[in-house]
Amino acid sequence: MALLEAKGITKKFGGLVAVDKLSFEVKQGEIVSIIGPNGAGKTTVFNMITGIYEIDEGEIVFDNKVISNKSPIYIVEAGISRTFQNIRLFKQMRVIENVMVGTHIKTNYNFFDALFRTKRFRNEERKATQKAIDILESIDLGDYINDYANNLPYGLQRRLEIARAIATGAKLLILDEPAAGMNPQESENLLNFIRSLQAKGYTILIIEHDMNVVMNISDRIYVMDYGKRIANGTPSEIASNPDVIKAYLGDASEILEEDDAV
Amino acid sequence: MFVEQLINGLAIGTIYALVAVGYSLVFGILRLVNFTHSSVYTLGAFMVYVGVEYLHLNIFLAILFSLVTTGFAGVMIDKMGLEPLRKKGASKISAMITTIGLSYIIINCLNIAFGSQIIRFPDLFNYGTFKLLGATIAWQQVIIGAVALILLVALSIFINRTRIGLAMRAVQQEPSAAAINGINVNMIISLTFFLGAASAAIAGTLIASYNQYLRSSMGDIVGLKAFAAAVLGGIGSLPGSVLGGLIIGVSESMAVYKLGGSYIDMVAFSLLFLVLLIRPYGILGRKGSTKV
């Protein structure tokens, strides 16, 4: 049973068909990557899943609920959260505050509780703070709790964005080019980090250009071009797919050689 | 005279600050200068008058009545005038001219209902005077300053210490990321308009009580000076608005002391020019906080 399933989804911008009857699925506990050249429509797909764009045709089902054309709030409550291609942290907030924004939807007090700082308010605040600390410690950001997000090194800012996504209580994490702008050491750390998330039970959908990351981490890969799905399969199947090699992997011969060597 | 003028300046400065915070909050969240703010300030004072004169409420209930109705009016300005524009992706300049237009509509409605003449307003805090360092100080000024200050502190605690305030700051810094993390952005915008309008209503009431009259044009110059205070302090920054308000209030009353009352309106804006030449983003403004 798929956790997330897109059934023939289409998005048009005026005359341009950005995503064309695309179908794919992500099973519980999988790491699935979507790859393809720039402009293939990958980020558009993410924006369709997370409710930023309305979809013109098709349907997206998550956890047996139709989530297409619902508000971003509905979708995050259903259990999907995401990161952005260009990091969008709350830069002038502390690390812990960034994560507490993620816990916001789970808050169970009203305006008057906050105004008069009732017992319920204080309990909820304490719980939320503790939860944020737990999340940060579980992903090795415990030492940075009181730093401003802006002052974190780049790799840790990426990690913090994922922490914020986790804090919403998401089951499915959608990562838009998590390794963008990282040096090899940082992307190696990221790789291990994403694996550790999978081990904790999260299901992960990734867009990524760094082929080293994609080939090493994905259980399955979908390849897109001009808004259409042109291939799907395991990393080794994708790496040996002649169409994909020719059009999209560029220096795929390298990957092939490595693959053959194994 | 110096001490009297200093106290006077601080009292009026906290009023400017209270109005400036409203400009700053809305600007921070929408990157929009909300020109309805000065008419909302006027509306707030009139609503207290309506409460006392027509609904025969006691003064505290009348102020509460004004807070709720004026705050709600602020929300409606956004819901009816601005949210539809945002949904249709209209430019900021369309939203800005809408706020200017709405401001005139509100003031003209007040003119139709109450006329444009001066209306007597009760002196709420007439507790006489006391001596400090040889100066005679009216309790009224102290109370006005204190009420405004308490509200500013409460607002600051609300924004910096509660989770709703956290959500407000999140929307201010990265609206798209806030939405994707489950924050109801439209609700936060409504709340911001409510808070801005309610604090303007208090400021308008305090000033009307200080002058012991109100009229529909009372917000014109205060609105402009409070806007100047917000920019001076760094628009989008709450402490900046407070600082800007106090600087303008005190320097105005010092100018009255040194130069006489004729030049009072020039002071705020001369100060604004000078500060912006040295710090283009205002005293506490950050470069990033005024981008987009």
Total count of domains within chain B = 1
Residue at B208: amino acid letter: A
> Residue A28, class by beta-carbon neighbours within 10 Å (0-12 exposed, 13-18 middle, 19+ buried)?
middle
Residue at A22: amino acid letter: L
- For the segment A71-91, what is each residue's pLDDT rounded down to a tens digit? 888 899 899 999 988 889 998
String of DSSP letters for chain B: -HHHHHHHHHHHHHHHHHHHHHHHHHHHHHS---TTHHHHHHHHHHHHHHHHHTS---HHHHHHHHHHHHHHHHHHIIIIIIHHHHHTT--HHHHHHHHHHHHHHHHHHHHHHH-SS-EE---TT---EEEETTEEEEHHHHHHHHHHHHHHHHHHHHHHHSHHHHHHHHHHH-HHHHHHTT--HHHHHHHHHHHHHHHHHHHHHHHHHHHTEE-TTTHHHHHHHHHHHHHHH-TT-HHHHHHHHHHHHHHHHHHHHHH-GGGHHHHHHHHHHHHHHH-TT-SS--TGGG--
Q: Contact, B213 vs B253, CB < 8 A?
A: no
- Taking 90 as the threshold, does the pLDDT of residue A32 lie above it? yes
Q: If you average pLDDT over every residue of chain B, what do you get?
A: 89
- Taking 50 as the threshold, does the pLDDT of residue A215 lie above it? yes
* CA nearest to A107 within chain B: B163
| Contact criterion met (CB < 8 Å) for B288 and A91 | yes
Q: Contact, A5 vs A12, CB < 8 A?
A: no
Q: What is the mean pLDDT of the segment spanning B206-227?
A: 91
Highest mean pLDDT among A118-122, B2-6, B49-53, B179-183: B49-53
* CA nearest to B167 within chain A: A101
Q: Which of A13, A49, A73 to mutate to test the interface with B (most CBs of B within 10 A)?
A: A73
More confident residue, A116 or B215: B215
Of the pLDDT bands very low, low, confident and very high (cuts 50, 70, 90), residue B125 is: confident
**Residues above pLDDT 90, as percent of chain A:** 42
Whether B19 maps to a domain, the answer reads: yes
State the pTM of this model.
0.83
Of the pLDDT bands very low, low, confident and very high (cuts 50, 70, 90), residue B227 is: very high
Whether B25 maps to a domain, the answer reads: yes
Note the pLDDT of residue A249: 54
Q: Which residues of A touch B169 (CB under 8 A)?
A: 90, 92-93, 97
Q: Contact, A233 vs A33, CB < 8 A?
A: no
- Across the A/B interface, how many CB contacts are shorter than 8 Å? 80
Whether B118 maps to a domain, the answer reads: yes
Residue at B227: amino acid letter: F
| Contact criterion met (CB < 8 Å) for B166 and A89 | no
Q: Across the interface, which of A52, A101, A107 has its CB nearest the CB of B170?
A: A101
Note the pLDDT of residue A107: 59
Q: What is the CA radius of gyration of chain A?
A: 19
| Contact criterion met (CB < 8 Å) for B180 and A100 | no
Quick count: other Cβ atoms within 10 Å of Cβ B97? Answer: 12
- For the segment B36-57, what is each residue's pLDDT rounded down to a tens digit? 999 999 999 999 999 999 999 9
**Residues above pLDDT 90, as percent of chain B:** 53
Helix (H, G, I), strand (E, B) or coil at A206: strand
Quick count: other Cβ atoms within 10 Å of Cβ A184? Answer: 10
How far does Cα B196 stand from its chain's mean position?
7
Whether B285 maps to a domain, the answer reads: no
- Taking 80 as the threshold, does the pLDDT of residue B213 lie above it? yes
Q: Which residues of A touch B164 (CB under 8 A)?
A: 111, 114
Highest mean pLDDT among A108-122, A235-249, B156-170, B254-268: B156-170
Of the pLDDT bands very low, low, confident and very high (cuts 50, 70, 90), residue B281 is: confident
- Could you tell me if A92 lies within 8 Å of chain B, comparing CB atoms? yes
Whether B204 maps to a domain, the answer reads: yes
* Rounded distance between C-alpha atoms, residue B29 and residue A154, angstroms: 26
**Residues above pLDDT 70, as percent of chain A:** 88
Whether B201 maps to a domain, the answer reads: yes
Whether B81 maps to a domain, the answer reads: yes
Q: What is the mean pLDDT of the segment spanning A138-152?
A: 89
- For the segment B169-209, what is each residue's pLDDT rounded down to a tens digit? 999 988 888 888 888 888 899 999 999 999 999 999 999 99
- Taking 70 as the threshold, does the pLDDT of residue A251 lie above it? no
Quick count: other Cβ atoms within 10 Å of Cβ A248? Answer: 20
- Domain of residue B76 covers 2-219
Of the pLDDT bands very low, low, confident and very high (cuts 50, 70, 90), residue A258 is: low
Tokens linked to B57: 């409420």
Q: Which domains does chain A have, with CATH numbers?
A: 2-261 (3.40.50.300)
Whether B17 maps to a domain, the answer reads: yes
- For the segment B64-88, what is each residue's pLDDT rounded down to a tens digit? 999 999 999 999 999 999 999 988 8
> With b meaning 16 or more CB within 10 Å and e meaning fewer, what string describes A86-124?
ebbbbbebbbbbbbbbbbbbebebeeebbeeeeeebeeb
| Contact criterion met (CB < 8 Å) for A82 and B158 | no
Highest mean pLDDT among B157-161, B229-233, B271-275: B229-233
| A50 min Cα distance to partner chain B (Å) | 7
Note the pLDDT of residue B14: 94
Q: Give the residue numbers in B contacting A (CB under 8 Å), as ranges.
A: 158, 162-164, 166-167, 169-170, 173-174, 176-184, 286, 288-289
| Contact criterion met (CB < 8 Å) for B181 and A92 | no
Q: Which of residues 20-79 of A touch B (CB under 8 A)?
A: 50, 52, 72-73, 76-77
Note the pLDDT of residue B225: 92
